[in-house]
Amino acid sequence: MIDWARVKTLQQEIGKEEFPEVLQIFFEESDSVIDTLANDPSEDYYEKALHLLRGSALNLGFSQFAALCQEAETRAQQGLADSVVIAAVITTYHASRTAFMDGLAQQLGTTIGK
């Protein structure tokens, strides 16, 4: 679900001191997009939102979530995204976030606020 090698590489590129801030920004932005998808779904918004989520997820090592966003983005481009697809994206985001937060201290020896 989480590509910890990618996360470690990102932490090295950014630096240990700045890494928690980058994580906070990622979660704030992703939470906002997920909230909009959950509470104000608009098919016009799907493609843009899924593209944004996919790119951020790939960068941060959320591999399973990124793959699902890619699939959903492709479906949105074809006019085939629906509430079932979006529900899967939302569920996978929350599961990935939980797995990330649970593994962060063990994998990197760092924590951030939930």
pLDDT tens, residue by residue, 100-111: 998 987 877 766
Q: What's the whole-number mean pLDDT along residues 79-90?
A: 81
pLDDT tens, residue by residue, 38-72: 887 777 788 889 999 999 999 999 999 999 999 98
- In CATH, the number for domain 4-11+19-108 is 1.20.120
- Which of these, 11, 6, 35, 5, lies nearest to 23 by C-alpha position? 11
What pTM did the predictor assign? 0.86
User: What CA–CA distance (Å, rounded) separates 7 from 2?
Assistant: 8
- Which of these, 69, 22, 31, lies nearest to 48 by C-alpha position? 69
